[in-house]
Structure 1
Amino acid sequence: MRALQAQAQAPQALEARAWAKVNLALDIVGKRPDGYHDIETVMHRIELADDIEVVRDKDPVSAGEPVITVEVTGVAGLDVSGVPCGRGNIAFRAAQAFLARLGFRGASVSIRIRKRIPVGAGLGGGSADAAAVLVAMNRLWENPLGREQLMAVGASIGADVPFCLANNDAAFAQGIGDRLTPLPGLLGVGLLLVNPGYAVSTSDAYAKWDARHTRDGGARARALARAIAAGRAEGDGGPDLRRICALLSNDFEPLVAEEHGQVLHLKQLLMQAGAIGALMSGSGPTVFGVYDSPGQAEAAAVVFGSRADSHIRVIPSCTCTGARES
């Protein structure tokens, strides 16, 4: 995170990166009495990020409600026309929740988001934006919230926000995504993301699961988490990538594929392009292929891109490990 304008006590503006994630495994454990769902999932941060700028007006505009503005743009070819700029934007709600937690009234905050992460894609872009806004605002207000307090605010906004705040390379998440067990990152793994150019509603995907399942699920994400942890413990080489890929799973995938059969077709194409494994991330529809190295993923992107329809976004990436500017 970088201060744009230094002041005597605190910067007035900060830039941040909002890192995307993929779900390497996702089990829907069951529906809770409050209507939310308990999940177990293995998430990994990846090298794809939105750019966030948060600007604080040091002079309160009034004694009334805070004034929060959100501006969203996208990189060339990325459609952000459906992204709300008001209360419907999770970054707006993050700023609102932060100010409410501290009882600040009359504050004025401007948020600018330049998106690289496809919208409604299962890559956690909205949650990443919200987390980046929370961290930036905490710094702009001279760190009034500790880590646990900030995590609690994040958990109240969205299921993936705590992971995005935690700054772990990888984690096993339980509950609604707020109970995190850090996992060792997968070093040097190439990824090829394929986004078919439309969004999938997470709430609709959960509704489909509710209609089909009469008993709780689970266990596969736990198996993958154990394999990742055990692999790192066995030596510096880390876990066996082929063993990891054999455990890739997502409860949402067959449900989403019923309406969007292209998801399974894209998985098949990724495997034909040399992927060790392939899976839909989150509630979709983005599908990712796993490769031994970023170079192999980039080579596969050239082949895949030449065959894909024009509306399909093909994004070479890799696992995100080590220190990052947040």
Structure 2
Amino acid sequence: MSSSYDWQDFPAPAKLNLFLHIIGRRNDGYHLLQSVFQLIDLADTISLRVNEGGEVQHLNPLPGVPADSDLTVRAARLLQKETGCSKGVDIRVTKRLPMGGGVGGGSSDAATVMLALNRLWQLNLPRVRLMELGLSLGADVPFFIFGENAFVEGIGEIMTPILTPEAHFVILHPQVHVSTPQIFSDPNLTRDTPPITVPHLSSAITQNDLEEVACKSYPEISESITWLSQYANARMTGSGSCVFASFSSPNEANRVIYDLPKKMTGYVARSLSKHPLHEFAE
């Protein structure tokens, strides 16, 4: 067993929205949604090294993102403030998840820091409390702490665990950084899709209400959906830019990637049933 002062690596997996419906809007402007969030094994790696000095340091911050405003640093400091923990941590992030891709990269990084430090700092905070704290960092953070595939409602805070079929996904990343606020504020966005209930969930429900608006603003997304649709039902995840399609075997998915035009970027990922750090909170 390594000492707490060694570097330790923890995965921060991505998510896909298997569908995403906007069913209304609250008086405060927040949109009410319904979606299925699916965990996949494409992940960033969060490296943590505990220290006794109480300092939280990000040792390889992203260009243009001050370390103090990085979600991983904010997550660690939030736990210190909540618990009075006197220990600190050094953080390194190996990015594989595209930023502005709709796969939850920054939120997942923050959730992994909270789950890992809950164990490394021996805080023993219950999952529900971690989720409440995570919500102050971003709408998707609680899902990654929840750590199971879920039917998600409200503004993203109501989660019902569901079983999803095993699948292999081809994920294409159009080289555009989508502005989520721009997509949600578009006057042409559909905001009145009829709500569905969990028993009526079907794998045939694949619509993403944000897709049409995103494709008009970012033709690269539309181009990726068109190309991937040759092989399977392709759609966008989140507010974009990534698009994906599901396949029943890794061979099928790998064959699609083999055909990928040189100007496109793509990955193959497998579905996960639970977050790899699910057991780090109760």
The one-letter amino acid paired with 1:45 is L
Shift of 1:176: 2.1
Q: Does the 8 Å CA contact 2:170/2:257 hold for their aligned counterparts?
A: yes
Q: Does 1:248 align with 2:206?
A: yes
CA shift in 2, pair 1:150/1:48, >3 Å: same
Q: Does 1:179 align with 2:167?
A: no
Aligned counterpart, 2:112:
132
Contact 1:16 1:136 survives alignment (8 Å): yes
Measure, in 1, the Cα distance between the counterparts of 2:99 and 2:80: 26
Which structure is larger by alpha-carbon Rg, 1 or 2?
A: 1
Deviation at 1:290, TM superposition (A): 1.5
User: What code does the residue aligned with 2:199 have?
Assistant: R
Structure 1: runs of 5+ lacking an equivalent: 61-66, 74-79, 229-242
1:294 to 245, 250, 260: 250
What RMSD over aligned residues (CA atoms) do the two structures have, in Å?
2.4
1:146 CA drift (Å): 1.1
* Partner deviation per Cα, 1:286-317 (whole Å, 9 max, x = no partner): 0101212222011111012xx241xx311111
State the distance in 2 between where 1:264 and 1:158 align. 27
Counterparts of 1:99 and 1:218 in 2: how far apart (Å)?
41
Matched, 1:90 2:71: yes
Q: 2:147 aligns with which of 167, 177, 187?
A: 167
CA distance in 1, matches of 2:158, 2:8: 28
Kindly tell me: are residues 298 and 18 of structure 1, through their superposed partners in 2, closer, same or farther at Cα, counting changes over 3 Å?
A: same
In the alignment, residue 30 of structure 1 is paired with which amino acid?
A: G
Any idea what the Cα deviations from partners look like across 1:3-32, whole Å, max 9, x if unmatched?
7x325xxx6654210010000111223333
Instruction: Give the secondary-structure state (helix, strand or coil) at the position aligned to 1:296.
Output: helix
Is the 1:26–1:39 contact (alpha carbons within 8 Å) kept by the matching residues of 2?
Answer: yes
Question: 2 CA distance for matches of 1:122 and 1:323?
Answer: 18
Question: Does 2:3 correspond to 1:6?
Answer: yes
Q: 2: distance between equivalents of 1:181 and 1:301?
A: 33
Q: How many residues align?
A: 278
Residue 131 of structure 1 deviates from its aligned partner by 0.5
Partners of 1:33 and 1:89 lie apart in 2 by: 30
Deviation at 1:322, TM superposition (A): 5.6
Q: Secondary structure at the match of 1:87?
A: helix
Relative to structure 1, is the Cα distance of residues 323 and 135 closer, same or farther in structure 2, using a 3 angstrom cutoff?
Answer: closer
The aligned amino acid for 1:171 is A
Whichever residue aligns with residue 50 of structure 2, its letter is R
1:26-50 per-residue CA deviation (whole Å, 9 max, x = no partner) reads 1223333444333211110112011
| CA deviation map 1:127-182 (0-9, x unaligned) | 110100001111122134111111111122111111111121x2111122121100
Aligned equivalent of 1:262 = 220
- Matched position secondary structure for 1:283: coil
- Residue 43 in structure 1 maps to residue 60 in structure 2: no
- The one-letter code matched in structure 2 to 1:172 is F
**TM score, norm. by length of structure 2:** 0.89
Matched, 1:121 2:118: no
TM-score by length of 1: 0.77
